[in-house]
Amino acid sequence: MIPGEKPIVMAERHQIEEFDEIANEFFSSVLGMDYDACFVSDESRLCDFSGCGMPDFLAASGGDLQALAGIWDRWVICEVARRYGVDLSVATVTMVDLFNRIAVARTARVH
């Protein structure tokens, strides 16, 4: 290491690893991504993946990046509610919290 440089420290992954099954399914079906091909930590938020998975017709509705981010936020919040029965008020939820809420919703449906 060059003197004066700080090492890169990766965020913890202990909690997110508890949800590997849900994460794989969510990334594939909602975000259109391979979960195993990206780094997701305990601190990662849903909004970190803004734009991923959004249908082309919504993306084509135009606007600047801020407008597209707002469109994606509304779309993903509705998509999570539709697919998993989990109501989100914002897309800034951590992935750990989201996956925990999905797990709880699935358990509630079984009982």
Per-residue pLDDT of the chain (111 residues; tens, 9 = 90+): 688 888 888 899 999 999 999 999 999 999 999 999 999 999 999 999 999 999 998 888 768 889 999 999 999 999 999 999 999 999 999 999 999 999 999 998 776
Question: Among candidates 90, 108, 89, 106, which has minimal Cα distance to 26?
Answer: 106
Rounded Cα gap, residues 26 and 30, in angstroms:
5
pLDDT score at 16: 97
Q: According to the model, what pLDDT value does residue 61 have?
A: 77
